[in-house]
Amino acid sequence: MKRIGMAVGQTISMSASPLKTLLVKDGVPNWDDLTKVIKEWQPTELIVGIPVTLDGENQLVTFAAKKFSKKLKHRYQLPVHSEDERFTTIEARSLLFEQGGFHHLNKSEIDSIAAVLITEQWLGTNSA
């Protein structure tokens, strides 16, 4: 609802790299910025992290993420996949803390690293 962490994944290496986090205003992404990223990287598929509660239940932001997925599919005419994003923010914080302590923990970096984790998780379970 505030930021979109992004990553680009590679099916050969089964890895992902962080991209710039996009800011969201009033729950609406800057579609022009998102379109620039899509044009630059030319993905064949998109993955959206779906936030759920610790026990896997939907919450309000779950429905917003699912709505965002539908808009992505309609706007870019690409397959859009959902991936459970539980614990990715916690893991991203931990990784960044290990790299540089508290001063390395900014929200944009956390979101981008979480996007890497979500992408790699999806690649690990869905790539042939």
In order along its 128 residues, the chain shows pLDDT tens digits of 889 999 999 999 999 999 999 999 988 999 999 999 999 999 999 999 999 888 888 888 999 999 999 999 999 999 999 999 888 888 887 887 777 766 666 677 888 989 999 999 999 998 65
- CATH architecture entry for 3-33+43-126: 2-Layer Sandwich (3.30)
Global pTM value: 0.88
Sorted by sequence, the CB contacts under 8 Å of residue 20 that are 6+ apart come out as 6, 37, 108, 112
Question: Rounded to the nearest 10 degrees, what angle do helices 88-100 and 107-126 cross at?
Answer: 120
pLDDT of residue 122: 95
pLDDT of residue 17: 95
Structure token digits, residue 52: 């759920």
For the chain, the domains span 3-33+43-126
pLDDT of residue 103: 63
pLDDT of residue 101: 67
pLDDT of residue 102: 67
